[in-house]
Amino acid sequence: MKIIIINGPNLNLLGKRENDIYGDESFNDFFNRIREKYSNVDISCYQSNVEGELIDKLQEVGYSYDGIILNAAAYTHTSIGIGDTVKAIETPVVEVHISNTFSREEFRHTSFISPNAKGIILGFGLQSYELALQSFLKE
Ligand code: DQA
């Protein structure tokens, strides 16, 4: 089982960014915990602040991996390009958000990912990623 977590812009700042919304754990610390806990799963992660690089990575893994956990961050609400890629590739994508985007500003209520995602998990902090991972393991 090959799973990748793909994180969009500013998620490299987790742990030191708006801690009241995103918590105080760095993504690396969280990822190391998850990797240990699910040591039977081949799980990797990728982060970029650049829209085109996220598209390149989705295309690269989107025909061979078993699952993609995608937090496109702000690009969720703006990127037709990433939305098109999610539609084009074959690997199922679970859309994830740390915060409950529907309880925040109106512009965060739109997602170009959701229409083509296998499912959406949001609002559970970093645990959103773990729940997405479990959704692939239950198949
Ligand atoms: C986010 C929510 C987005 O609206 C925001 O731009 C982010 C993070 C989340 O995980 O809650 O950067 O995707």
Ligand 1 atom with minimal separation from the 122 CA: 11
Per annotation, catalytic residue among 38, 97, 109, 129: 97
pLDDT in tens, 20-53: 888 888 999 999 999 999 999 999 999 999 999 9
CATH topology of domain 2-137: Rossmann fold (3.40.50)
* pLDDT at residue 90 tops 90: yes
* pLDDT at residue 135 tops 70: yes
pLDDT at position 139, please? 57
- Whether 97 is a known active-site residue: answer yes
Segment 75-84 shows an average pLDDT of: 98
| Domain coordinates in residue numbering, the chain | 2-137
Amino acid at 85: T
Segment 8-19 shows an average pLDDT of: 91
pLDDT in tens, 63-77: 999 999 999 999 999
Return d(Cα 118, Cα 132) in angstroms, integer. 10
120 lines ligand 1 (CB under 6 A): no
pLDDT in tens, 94-108: 999 999 999 999 999
In sequence order, which residues have a C-beta less than 8 Å from that of residue 10 and are 6 or more positions away?
17, 49, 73, 74
